[in-house]
Structures are given as C-alpha cells and as structure tokens.
Amino acid sequence: MCERENVQTLQRGMNFHLDAGVSVVLMSRRHNAPYPDRVEDSGRVIVYEGHDSPRCNDVPDPKSVDQPERNPSGSLTQNGLFHRAAQNHKDGMGHAEFVRVYEKIMNGVWAYNGVFTLADSWLETRGRRKVFKFRLEMAEEPSDSDRGLATLEHARVIPSSVKAEVWRRDHGRCVTCGRTDNLHFDHIIPYSKGGTSLDALNIQLLCARHNVAKRDKIE
C-alpha cells in the first residue's frame, strides 16, 4: 500500500526522522481510533494527537496520566521529539519537519495522505490530564524526493469513508493494470480542476506507475 515505508511493519504510530530525515505518522479517524485525530481546512491541515505512555506497572491506565514528553531514562519520547522540532521551527531555528501521513481506512489497509510540515505543537488539557497536539500543514514534497513524486499536485485529503468505498469497489487493485502494491487514491478529475475528494465516483485506485503516467499526460 505504501510506496516508501512498509507501514504495516511499523510498530509505532509516531516515527520521528524515520527515513532520510522525514518523519512518518499513522492516523485514524475511525470511530474506534485510539486518538482523536482530525482534519481541517478541506484536508490541508491535520491536528494530530500525541501518544500515551505505554502501559506498564507504574502506568496501569495510560489514559489517566499526562502524555509523556520524556522516557523514564530522561530521553525524549516521540511526543517530545516532535514537540521540540515544532517549537524550534516556530522559534526560527531550522526548517519545518516533513511528515508523511498514512491513514488507516480499514483493518490492514493504509492510505497515503501526503507530505505535511510540522507547523506547531501545544499541550491541551483533557479532563485531568495533558495531551500533545501537533498541527500538520500540507506541504510540497522535499525537493530531493525520489520517484518523481515532487511534481505531483497536492491531493487534498480524501475522507476515510470515500477511500474505503473506492478500495472495495476497485478490489484493492490498480484499475489500469491490476497491481496490488504501491497504490494511490487518484482524483479522476484533478482537485486543481475542480474535481472533488468527497465523491467516490471521482476517486480511483492507481499504482504509482500509472498515477505518474496519468499526471504526465495531464501536464
């Protein structure tokens, strides 16, 4: 499903600097999702929640304690690493962190939502505890991107329900060649030409090769 990182093998939802200095996060907006991630501004912004402490003897109920910034050893957790990067960037130190976002649309099926920049982070009080929030804004691909994906236009985030419908309809295969790996959710009419992300009729599954081939034809 995912052309770069094999997400199904990733153990963690948050992966700071996973691959060539690009971070990766997994999100879910399913009703049983562990964290209330949300999408705003027609898909240009994701507000991503930090992650809880792992369950252990000292922390029998992670949902009852603050999300940790540091591990017991004193090193930064994934929350802490993302938070520090966001704050450094806000303070004018360094580039915004690039974050690839993958979204769980059903069991075992992850969709690539695109590359975002880590624009901000803050702590929010929920009930009696504090949780981390990260603001991710849709970005250009890093300029050294491989696979020619830098030239792809931004795909606005397609709602999970639409992705699930498209996935079922297209049987999890590229509609052109039938491949089942490196699949993308493609706007049949591009977003930039008024095509919607909200209707499954305008979305199809394409493998990376046919996605790029189609894009070249349009341009």
Query: Where do contacts with Zn ion occur on this chain (CB under 5 A)?
Result: 174, 176-177, 179, 207, 210
Closest separation in Å from C-beta 212 to Zn ion: 10
Closest distance of CB 177 from Zn ion, Å: 3
- Rounded to the nearest angstrom, the gap between the alpha carbon of residue 20 and the centroid of all alpha carbons in its chain is 17
CB atoms within 10 A of CB 201: 13
Looking at the Cβ atoms of 70 and 147, the one nearer to Zn ion is 147
What H or E segment, with its residue span, contains residue 201?
A: none
Query: How many C-beta neighbours within 10 Å does residue 20 have?
Result: 11
Q: Which is nearer to Zn ion, 51 or 184 (CB)?
A: 184
**Cβ of 50: how many Cβ atoms within 10 Å?**
25
Please say which residue, 30 or 169, places its beta carbon nearer to Zn ion. 169
Q: Are 118 and 89 in contact (CB under 8 A)?
A: yes
Of 124 and 181, CB closest to Zn ion: 181
Residue with tokens 């929920």: 126
Cβ of residue 24: shortest distance to Zn ion, in angstroms?
Answer: 24
Least distance (Å) between residue 135 CB and Zn ion: 35
Collect all residues with Cβ–Cβ distance below 8 Å to 57 and sequence separation of at least 6.
none
Which of residues 20 and 177 has its CB atom nearest to Zn ion in the complex?
Answer: 177
Instruction: Give 61's DSSP letter.
Output: -
Distance of closest approach, residue 2 Cβ to Zn ion, in angstroms: 16
Q: List C-alpha distances in Å: 204 to 115, 127, 164, 165, 187.
A: 20, 41, 11, 10, 7
